């Protein structure tokens, strides 16, 4: 599969240090002078409370940003017991609720347009991401991790699947996919939560593929043209999560996945980037996410992406 325009120059011209390092790491180029410089820049932004700045308000640490930064540090071979990661984990665990879920930093004021975060209610996908992180740093058997897993199990809807927040009455397809494939990893394919979740995922994937083909989707009763947020999140919710779906066989050979990818390519902008619905401009992070999803599902090989990056970044 080919892009209409090379996205790599846009990512490295407009992206922040986090986005650039994520893209380098995905093809094993983080351990280069440019990658090491980006890593150092990021470590310098760690705040006194041990978190990393929120995109909503950089004066405060964000749970979402700190969790994803911790994942990136791990992928860049930072020691699990080193100061940067252990302090990250302390900050994150301070934001676990008593029932085991994770929510955003209560010090943040979350604007209405940020629809996927709450600091009043625990967030399902964020809790699933934290379970991944706790397991990655060797804390899978801790009380904190087990409480999160148990909370996610309790949050399953009566008909299967998960909402975005605790007490939601409506399934959120993207969050549900994230938790579903976590349950497969934790409990196996025969677990009833996974079986119910993956049946819903199949339905949601059918719907997303039809929307991709039609060129629009229904957003709260209003027809919206396809855009990168809606098309990507079922296949990969963040630049880290999503590979479990590909590992489960949802790759480009699946006609539905191929339809979604083709629709994503169609909406690429002339600057090489992709624009989510809330922005007037292309977004480097979402552009990097598209690149990684193509790698995950086998639509573009690692060797080719690495060559694109080397040509655009290392031969300047």
> What is the per-residue pLDDT across 161-193, written as a single tens digit (0 to 9) for each?
999 998 888 999 999 999 999 999 999 999 999
Taking CA atoms, 23 is separated from 41, 240, 298, in Å, by: 16, 11, 16
CB atoms within 10 A of CB 19: 21
Q: What tokens appear for 261 in the block?
A: 């990818």
- pLDDT of 315 reads 67
Residues of the chain with pLDDT under 70: 315-316
Is the CB of residue 35 less than 8 Å from the CB of residue 77?
Answer: no
d(CA 166, CA 194): 19
Is the CB of residue 312 less than 8 Å from the CB of residue 254?
Answer: no
CATH class of this structure's domain 8-314 = mainly alpha
For the chain, domain boundaries: 8-314
Taking CA atoms, 268 is separated from 3, 224, 225, 253, in Å, by: 8, 16, 13, 22
> What is the per-residue pLDDT across 185-211, written as a single tens digit (0 to 9) for each?
999 999 999 999 999 999 999 999 999
Provide the angle, in degrees to the nearest 10, between the axes of the packed helices 143-154 and 173-187. 130
Q: What tokens appear for 286 in the block?
A: 């979402």
- Residues in CB range of 63: below 8 A, 6 or more apart: 51, 92, 95, 102, 103, 104, 105, 126
> Can you name the residues that pair with 223 across neighbouring β-strands?
218
- pLDDT of 218 reads 82
The answer, as to whether pTM is greater than 0.85, is: yes
Least Cα distance to 244 among 302, 198, 212, 199 occurs for: 198
d(CA 66, CA 91): 8
| SS3 assignment, position 81 | coil
């Amino acid at each position: 599969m080919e892009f209409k325009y090379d996205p790599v120059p846009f990512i490295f011209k407009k992206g922040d240090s986090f986005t650039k390092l994520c893209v380098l790491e995905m093809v094993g180029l983080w351990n280069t002078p440019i990658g090491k410089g980006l890593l150092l820049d990021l470590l310098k932004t760690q705040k006194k409370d041990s978190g990393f700045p929120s995109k909503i308000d950089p004066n405060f640490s964000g749970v979402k940003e700190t969790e994803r930064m911790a994942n990136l540090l791990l992928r860049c071979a930072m020691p699990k017991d080193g100061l940067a990661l252990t302090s990250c984990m302390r900050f994150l665990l301070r934001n676990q609720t008593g029932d085991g879920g994770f929510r955003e930093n209560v010090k943040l004021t979350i604007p209405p347009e940020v629809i996927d975060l709450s600091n009043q209610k625990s967030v399902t996908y964020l809790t699933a991401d934290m379970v991944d992180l706790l397991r990655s740093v060797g804390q899978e058997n801790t009380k904190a991790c087990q409480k999160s897993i148990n909370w996610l199990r309790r949050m399953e809807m009566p008909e299967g699947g998960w909402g975005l927040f605790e007490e939601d009455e409506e399934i959120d397809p993207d969050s549900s996919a994230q938790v579903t494939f976590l349950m497969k990893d934790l409990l196996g394919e025969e677990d009833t939560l996974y079986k119910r979740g993956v049946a819903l995922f199949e339905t949601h994937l059918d719907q997303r593929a039809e929307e991709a083909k039609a060129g629009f989707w229904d957003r709260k009763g209003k027809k919206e043209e396809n855009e990168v947020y809606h098309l990507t999140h079922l296949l990969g919710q963040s630049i880290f999560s999503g590979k479990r779906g590909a590992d489960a066989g949802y790759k480009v050979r699946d006609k539905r996945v191929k339809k979604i990818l083709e629709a994503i390519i169609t909406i690429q902008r002339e600057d090489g980037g992709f624009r989510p619905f809330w922005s007037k401009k292309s977004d480097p992070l979402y552009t990097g996410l598209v690149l990684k999803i193509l790698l995950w599902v086998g639509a573009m090989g690692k060797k080719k992406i690495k060559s694109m990056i080397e040509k655009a970044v290392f031969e300047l």
